[in-house]
Amino acid sequence: MGRKPMTFWEKLYIPVIAKGMLITFGHMFRKKATISYPEQTRTFSPVFRGVQILNRDEEGRECCTACGLCAVACPAEAITMEAAERLPGEEHLYREEKYAARYEINMLRCIFCGLCEEACPKDAVYLSETLVPANFNRESFVYGKEEMLIPHPLTDPEGFAKARGEKRG
Ligand code: SF4
Ligand code: SF4
């Protein structure tokens, strides 16, 4: 099929170039769709779910009792834990008689559905408003208790209050 011959105006090219430039300049005065992250950040949606946090009570004791319900509820099989019995003298460390000696979430598997938070009977795990930071190393995306436990209320009351403030709902 032969091409339609160009008209006189099409052969000039100037009108289409001018039309293109008009569109380009028009966009220069519109509100930008992008922001300069990380200097600027957007306000999160009220239903945003970020990295999981392990909760402490007001005395600083870990709330998790290693019941495993969060791991069972997790559709991505991202949660691993090992339970241990609380020993006499450890009442100031763990709220329940059983605690998670190891608690890990693989952030590369997590889909931030929030089912772990919903399944927890002890209010021990919740999704915060913090983003998972980027990294080049896969191992660094496996978060342990050290990364997830909120600050101790006695040693860092400000950090504790901030972390509890991030709790959704
Ligand atoms: S948010 Fe969902 S996918 Fe992520 S650990 Fe919790 S239950 Fe699993
Ligand atoms: S975080 Fe909650 S649901 Fe998960 S093991 Fe601990 S107490 Fe059980």
Which atom of ligand 1 is the closest one to the Cα of 70?
7
* Domains of the chain: total: 1
> What is the H or E stretch that residue 84 is in?
strand 79-85
Residue 98 lies inside a defined structural domain of this protein:
yes
Residue 81 lies inside a defined structural domain of this protein:
yes
Residue 17 lies inside a defined structural domain of this protein:
no
Residue nearest to atom 8 of ligand 1 (CA): 74
Is residue 107 within 8 Å of 141, Cβ to Cβ? Answer: yes
Kindly give the distance from the C-alpha atom of residue 27 to the centroid of ligand 1, in angstroms, as a whole number: 41
- Domain coverage including residue 121: 52-165
Residue 136 lies inside a defined structural domain of this protein:
yes
Q: Residue 78: CB within 6 Å of ligand 1?
A: yes
Which atom of ligand 1 is the closest one to the Cα of 111?
3
Residue 46 lies inside a defined structural domain of this protein:
no
Kindly give the distance from the C-alpha atom of residue 125 to the centroid of ligand 1, in angstroms, as a whole number: 10
CA 95 to chain centre: 26
Residue 160 lies inside a defined structural domain of this protein:
yes
Q: In one letter, which amino acid is 15?
A: P
Q: Which residues of the chain have pLDDT under 70?
A: 1, 166-169
For residue 128, the domain's CATH number is 3.30.70.3270
The answer, as to whether pTM is greater than 0.85, is: no
Q: What is the pLDDT of residue 95?
A: 96
Q: What is the pLDDT of residue 169?
A: 47
